[in-house]
Amino acid sequence: MSFDWLNAHAGYGFTVKERLAEIESPFQRVEVFDTHQFGRLFRLDGRLMTSEGDEFFYHECMTHPAALAHPNPEAILVIGGGDGGSSEELFSTEREAHRDGGARPRRHHISRKYLGTINKGALDDPRLEIRIGDGYEFVKSTTERFDLIVLDLTDPDTPAFHLYSEEFFRMCQGRLKPGGMLTLHLGSPVYQAETVRKNATNLRKVFKHVAPLSLFIPLYGSQWCLAVASDTVDPRAVTVDTIAQRMTERKLDDLRYYHPSMHPALFTLPRFVQDLVAAPTTGTPRVPHLRVA
């Protein structure tokens, strides 16, 4: 069984046909399984990351709502993303060039060997410059600026916790070009409600526009929240016609989840998710006056 705890009281897992790889380094534990439900499945530090069968749910929604809200995203930074799925989605537009910072070399080796159906060779694309090291330190020290920063990370309660801080979001803000955007996942609003609230709050402390989105991700067994943040662009204001036009121009005709009409739907949140990610209210709340005759 390949299992992942969603919180201290609930978990989710899949029966395994075969364990294909297991590597423990000083930095992380990497596992690959062959499963009945989703084919090859990648687990990092005990957390389910991605699978052949459902990766398009996560990777398409992590990348395209932000990338298509930008008229020409040429310089992109992916922090994490060691399975190569986010890079593959971004390269499918046939116009981006980007950096990949913060992933470990053994994870790239595993991804090349076992997860080719997910990354489709993106890790060997000449447009991709892989820099091995700490993503936090890379953002802190680089002088480069980007149209899009993708935080394709493990969960906030893992060693990646400092990449969800207000301080790191502010560092990313300083590395964005005018019109640039940051995209990341916030967690499960069902099983990690306070984590989602905290991440959204930290983003709002930094960025003018914070646009949470929500979808069900089968591998994670739950509704999941992501977000796009920017000082100049609100992706919710981009029209369906504009998304359709840009998808045609960028030859995005083989996606399996995301499409033009899905763009506004992703940002249409259930009420309980709206409450979690809403900006704090100020002033005295209005109390309706009811009179019963």
Catalytic annotation present for 124: no
Higher pLDDT, 102 or 126: 126
CATH of domain 2-50: 2.30.140.10
- Look up residue 122 and give its DSSP letter: G
Of residues 102, 109, 145, the one with CA closest to residue 124: 109
Domain 55-275 has CATH 3.40.50.150: yes
CB 90, CB 126: distance < 8 Å: no
Residue that wins the pLDDT comparison between 154 and 20? 20
Q: Distance between terminal CA atoms of the chain?
A: 62
Hey, is 185 helix, strand or coil?
Answer: strand
pTM (two decimals) = 0.90
The per-residue pLDDT for range 232-272, each reduced to its tens digit, is 999 999 999 999 999 999 999 999 999 999 999 999 999 99
Cα dihedral 122, 89, 139, 188 sign: negative
Closest CA to 108 of 23, 11, 234: 23
> DSSP string covering 224-287, please?
EEEEEEESS--GGGS-HHHHHHHHHHTT----SS--TTHHHHHT---HHHHHHHPPPP-SPPP-
Q: CA 59, CA 63: separation in Å to the nearest integer?
A: 6
Q: Chain-wide mean pLDDT for the chain?
A: 89
Sheet containing strand 75-80, strands side by side:
128-131, 97-101, 75-80, 146-152, 176-187, 222-230, 209-217
Q: pLDDT tens-digit profile of 144-198?
A: 999 999 999 988 777 788 999 999 999 999 999 999 999 999 999 999 999 999 9
Catalytic residue, candidates 54, 83, 100, 152: 152
Q: What is the pLDDT of residue 279?
A: 82
| Residue found under tokens 């796009």 | 228
Domain residue spans in the chain?
A: 2-50, 55-275
| pLDDT tens sequence across 36-48 | 999 999 998 889 9
